[in-house]
Amino acid sequence: MGVQHTPVVSSFNGFDERNETKGFLIAPFMISEETPPLFIREDFCLTDEAPNEMLETWIQTVHFEAENSETIEPIQTQEAYLEEVSDLIRLLKEGELSKIVYSRVIALENSPEDCFNLFQKLVQDYPEAFVYCFFIPGKAVWMGATPEPFLQVCSGALKTVALAGTRKIPDKTWSEKEYEEHEYVSRFIRGVLDDCQLNDRTESLPKPVNAGECVHLRTDFSVRADLSGSDVSRLIRLLHPTPAVCGYPQQGAMAEILRRERHDRQFYSGFLGPVSAANQMNLFVNLRCMKMGKERVELFVGGGITKDSNPQEEWDETELKAQTMRRFF
């Protein structure tokens, strides 16, 4: 577990210049010159055998230093959400776009008094998830338990995942809508790997995997390749954002998201994770996450909308996903 003691945060422009730097990479949903990925240098590392006192002190300290910056007003009502999703379905039936991932924010007016206890509960309750906490000055504290790998790179190999389609546990009866939503992500990943000429690869069949209160369809892609830092940087640029968090085709879906969503996603549906070199990293999509200030918590949730979506079912899906974090409040 990597923990930043004295935050040293810098913009991140690619792996060419940082091949031997160890730390934590954090990218927002919308990467631009104004909002680049950020890199936190690793100052020390705690293992499972190390005492938790240092980690507890750090988490509690940054929580009470955090400000409620960039609060979201107003929070979208259920009525407004259903109306927007209905309009998206009408748009998708016209056929130019196939999928749009539409998100919303749930505001909780009580911030947890014991962030370290919350972090421990996430680790204990979601052993298959990537549980994290990071603090960027001026950007509040973010904490999450994401079920979705983005890109794992180690010497001579890389892995990525298509994770899309959601049902409530224990319901594992998949409709054509869920399979279609999942296939958009798999098709996109295949195209990116083809563009990067990563042909020595295997692909699993879609299988159900549990994630908190939900079960998703997952396809694993494994590739044998030795990539340079610039190769990895290009692969990340092409992969993000996948149709699992944006839509399909990518550019059209992105335009609709920026036009329709009332909030800035910030780090929600970006990616993050530990990096030790250009060929050693383990990145995850930032889902099932929340932004915490001194007096307010904001949960970010979303779902993939297709022409076959039902607005009420999409609302219920976001409520289900929110329970990953909401159940602790």
- pLDDT tens track for 158-214: 999 999 998 888 776 888 999 999 999 999 999 999 999 999 999 999 999 988 788
The predicted-structure confidence for 9-24, as pLDDT tens digits, reads as follows 777 877 765 455 688 9
- Dihedral angle, C-alpha 224, 270, 6, 279, nearest 10 °: 10
Q: Which domain holds residue 125?
A: 2-326
CA distance 272 to 23: 11
Share the mean pLDDT of the chain: 87
* pLDDT, average across residues 138-149: 88
Residue with more model confidence, 140 or 210 = 210
> Confidence class of residue 2 from pLDDT cuts 50, 70 and 90?
very low
Quick one: CA torsion of 244, 250, 252, 255, rounded to 10 degrees?
70
What pLDDT digit, counting tens, does each position of 20-79 carry?
568 899 999 999 888 899 998 887 776 665 556 777 777 767 665 655 545 555 678 999
Q: Count up the domains in the chain and report the number.
A: 1
- Give the model confidence (pLDDT) of 214-257 as tens digits: 889 999 999 999 988 889 999 999 999 999 999 999 999 999 99
Please name the residue ranges forming H helices in the chain.
53-65, 78-93, 115-125, 176-195, 229-239, 250-260, 311-326
- 84 or 73: which carries more pLDDT confidence? 84
Q: Are 9 and 55 in contact (CB under 8 A)?
A: no
What is residue 211's predicted lDDT score, i.e. its pLDDT? 85
State whether the Cα torsion 142-145-149-153 is positive or negative.
positive
Nearest to 141 by CA among 66, 54, 241, 251: 66
Give percent above pLDDT 90 in the chain.
60
CB atoms within 10 A of CB 65: 12
Cα separation of 282 and 256, whole Å? 30
Q: What is the mean pLDDT of residues 290-315?
A: 92
Q: Residue 306 sits in a domain of what CATH number? A: 3.60.120.10
Assigned token pair, 20 = 């031997």
DSSP string for 230-287: HHHHHHHHHHSSPTTTSEESHHHHHHHHHHH-SS--TTTTSEEEEEEETTEEEEEE--
R_g (Cα) of the chain, nearest Å:
19
CA-CA distance, 11 to 268, in Å (whole number)?
18
Specify the pLDDT at position 168. 86
pLDDT at 93 exceeding the cut of 80: yes
